[in-house]
């Protein structure tokens, strides 16, 4: 079945490099990605970026702790609903949102997709519920009244092997990535925060903010194996890598 893949950049964040690479100094400005997967059986979004309320005063919405460590570069038209409408896709027509995890910059746009089910690893949802609005989680981002499809481990969304959730625990207890097989560009691994940067994978350099270092490094090794088999690894927040990524409506894969 023909599957199409499109990429969006939904704003940028400036944050300490040490969050992404343990022991590093200084700051780094990174993209906030989202992806649209068009499958004959439905439309899927992988991650949804930032909440609309962060367009005006992020600290008022996200809180002082998040605002203390993140500078938001987020303008009207960069929220996921606007990105979709700009390429002629109705946000109401999105069937499934796959959240890599439930940190604020990965699920903030969920509410803009009112008819979508939220597909999430069960252990991630349980962790978010237990955590509340702390440590990068905002309950108002993910508790939006939509239905949850809770999965455990690997999950083939359409049953044909083209769009498959991969458990990539480590960044958070229930993080997942998405494997997408396209006719045009072959196989892509949408990493989310399982691998922030190209340097992370090449140097096996773990992030500074992480819940399970050994699990995260095991994911890096798995990504290297997939890369050797021909998959393209879509690094989650790599500013140099993202400069080369075509933006929708240009097709990525």
The H-or-E segment that residue 180 falls in is strand 176-182
Q: Give yes or no for residue 188 having a pLDDT over 90.
A: yes
Exposure b/e, 30-45, CB count within 10 A at least 16 = b: bbbbbbbbebeebbbb
Q: Which residues pair with 232 in a beta bridge?
A: 188
Average pLDDT estimate for 121-125: 97
Average pLDDT estimate for 175-197: 95
CA dihedral 52, 54, 60, 63 (to 10 degrees): 110
CATH among 2.60.40.1120, 3.60.15.10, 3.40.50.1240, 3.40.30.10 for 4-242? 3.60.15.10
Q: Provide the CB-side half-sphere exposure for 190 (13 A, CA).
A: 32
Q: What is the pTM of this model?
A: 0.95
Let me know: does 19 contact 207? Beta carbons within 8 Å.
Answer: yes
Confidence tier at 208 by pLDDT (50, 70, 90): confident
């Amino acid at each position: 079945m023909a599957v199409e893949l499109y990429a969006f950049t939904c704003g940028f964040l400036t944050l300490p490099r040490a969050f992404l690479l343990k022991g590093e100094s200084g700051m780094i400005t990174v993209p906030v990605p989202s992806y649209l997967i068009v499958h004959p059986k439905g439309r899927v979004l992988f991650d949804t970026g930032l909440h609309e309320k962060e367009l005006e005063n992020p600290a008022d919405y996200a809180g002082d702790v998040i605002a203390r460590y993140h500078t938001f570069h987020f303008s009207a038209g960069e929220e996921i609903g606007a990105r979709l409408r700009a390429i002629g896709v109705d946000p109401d027509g999105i069937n499934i949102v796959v959240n890599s995890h439930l940190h604020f910059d990965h699920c903030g746009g969920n509410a803009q997709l009112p008819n979508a089910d939220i597909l999430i690893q069960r252990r991630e949802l349980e962790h978010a519920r237990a955590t509340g609005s702390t440590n990068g989680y905002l309950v108002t981002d993910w508790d939006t009244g939509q239905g949850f499809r809770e999965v455990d481990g690997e999950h083939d969304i359409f049953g044909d092997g083209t769009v498959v959730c991969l458990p990539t625990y480590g960044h958070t207890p229930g993080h997942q990535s998405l494997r997408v097989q396209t006719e045009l560009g072959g196989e892509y691994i949408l990493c989310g925060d399982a691998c922030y940067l190209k340097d992370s994978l090449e140097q096996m350099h773990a992030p500074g903010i992480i819940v399970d270092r050994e699990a995260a490094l095991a994911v890096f090794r798995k990504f290297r194996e997939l890369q050797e088999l021909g998959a393209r690894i879509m690094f989650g927040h790599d500013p140099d890598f993202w400069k080369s990524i075509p933006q929708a409506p240009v097709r990525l894969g």
